[in-house]
Amino acid sequence: GQNIDQPTEMTATEGAIVQINCTYQTSGFNGLFWYQQHAGEAPTFLSYNVLDGLEEKGRFSSFLSRSKGYSYLLLKELQMKDSASYLCAVRGPGGSYIPTFGRGTSLIVHP
């Protein structure tokens, strides 16, 4: 099975940097995803990590350490529109490739 932990809620100030952590325990590992979900809307893909290290994409970066079962999503130059839920998902081994989602971190950006 898989267990994914991320903080329930975080707050940050516009223009600042915030790091959202995700830890996981899995019987196997085949990649980690981050999705953004605004209230009442569908999740949208942000990043995918399968190897250790940092992947940068504009204001968003995602880091993975497989040995530690740990990932983080780094958001720079925060904007009000970044207020959303951020979902960490881990894909396990085997033929199903089904990703297991964490419960999400609700990020509130205030002026």
Partner 1 sequence: EAQVTQNPRYLITVTGKKLTVTCSQNMNHEYMSWYRQDPGLGLRQIYYSMNVEVTDKGDVPEGYKVSRKEKRNFPLILESPSPNQTSLYFCASSLWLENNEQFFGPGTRLTVL
In the complex, the residues that contact partner 1 under the rule CB under 8 A are 31, 33, 40-45, 48, 87, 89, 95-104
Least separation in angstroms between residue 103's CB and partner 1 is 4
Separation CA 93–CA 66 (nearest Å): 14
What is the CA 47 to chain-centroid distance, rounded? Answer: 8
User: Which residue, 14 or 41, has its beta carbon nearer to partner 1?
Assistant: 41
Least separation in angstroms between residue 23's CB and partner 1 is 15
Strand partners, 6: none
Separation CA 10–CA 82 (nearest Å): 12
Least separation in angstroms between residue 25's CB and partner 1 is 16
